[in-house]
Amino acid sequence: MRLAEIAKALKVTPGENWEEITITSVSFDTRSLQPGALFIPLVGDHDGHDYLTQAIDKGAAATLWQTDHRLPATDFPILPVADTLAALQKLANYYLIKINPQVVAVTGSNGKTTTKDMIAAILETGFNVQKTHANFNNQIGVPMTVLGMEPNTEVLVVEMGMDHFGELDHLSRLVEPDIAIITMIGEAHIEFFGTRDKIADAKMEITHGLKEDGLLIYNGDEPLLRERTKELLQTTKTFGEAANNDYQALNIVGDEQRTSFRVACWPEENITVPMIGSYNVNNALAALAVGDYFHLPVEKMIAALTEFQATANRTEWLVGKKQERILSDVYNSNPTAAHLVLKAFSQAPTSGRRFVVLGDMLELGAAAAKLHAGLAADIDPAQIDEVFLCGSQMASLAQALRDKFDSTRLHLYASNQKAKLIADLTAVIEPADLVLLKGSHGIHLEEVLAALR
Claim to verify: residue 33 and residue 105 sit in the same structural domain: no
Claim to verify: residue 301 and residue 332 sit in the same structural domain: no
Residue 89 belongs to a domain? no
Claim to verify: residue 78 and residue 108 sit in the same structural domain: no
CATH code at position 437: 3.90.190.20
Claim to verify: residue 123 and residue 241 sit in the same structural domain: yes
Would you say 238 is a known binding-site residue? no
Per residue in 181-218, pLDDT (tens digit) is 999 987 766 667 778 899 999 999 999 999 999 999 99
Would you say 17 is a known binding-site residue? no
Residue 210 belongs to a domain? yes
Which range of residues forms the domain containing residue 405? 316-452
Residue 437 belongs to a domain? yes
Claim to verify: residue 293 and residue 211 sit in the same structural domain: yes
Would you say 109 is a known binding-site residue? yes
Alpha-carbon span 312 to 103, nearest angstrom: 24
Residue 29 belongs to a domain? yes
pTM of the model: 0.84
Would you say 113 is a known binding-site residue? yes
Claim to verify: residue 206 and residue 303 sit in the same structural domain: yes
Residue where one domain finishes, among candidates 307, 327, 362 = 307
Alpha-carbon span 370 to 67, nearest angstrom: 48
Residue where one domain finishes, among candidates 285, 307, 329 = 307
Judge whether residue 442 has pLDDT over 80: yes
Would you say 114 is a known binding-site residue? yes
Residue 138 belongs to a domain? yes
Alpha-carbon span 12 to 164, nearest angstrom: 32
Claim to verify: residue 253 and residue 270 sit in the same structural domain: yes
Would you say 278 is a known binding-site residue? no
User: For helices 112-123 and 279-293, what crossing angle results, to 10°?
Assistant: 40
Would you say 125 is a known binding-site residue? no
For residue 434, CA distances in Å to 73, 219, 357 come to 61, 31, 11
Claim to verify: residue 113 and residue 258 sit in the same structural domain: yes
Residue 96 belongs to a domain? no
Per residue in 11-63, pLDDT (tens digit) is 999 998 999 999 999 999 999 999 999 999 999 889 999 999 999 999 999 99
What pLDDT does residue 314 have?
A: 65
300 neighbors 125 (Cβ within 8 angstroms): yes
Claim to verify: residue 150 and residue 298 sit in the same structural domain: yes
Claim to verify: residue 268 and residue 132 sit in the same structural domain: yes
Residue 93 belongs to a domain? no
Judge whether residue 312 has pLDDT over 70: no
Judge whether residue 134 has pLDDT over 80: no
Per residue in 244-292, pLDDT (tens digit) is 999 999 999 987 788 999 999 999 999 999 988 888 999 999 999 999 9
Claim to verify: residue 240 and residue 293 sit in the same structural domain: yes
Claim to verify: residue 298 and residue 186 sit in the same structural domain: yes
Q: How many domains does the chain have?
A: 3
Residue where one domain finishes, among candidates 255, 279, 307 = 307
CATH code at position 31: 3.40.1390.10
H helices, E strands: number in the chain: 16, 19
CATH code at position 203: 3.40.1190.10
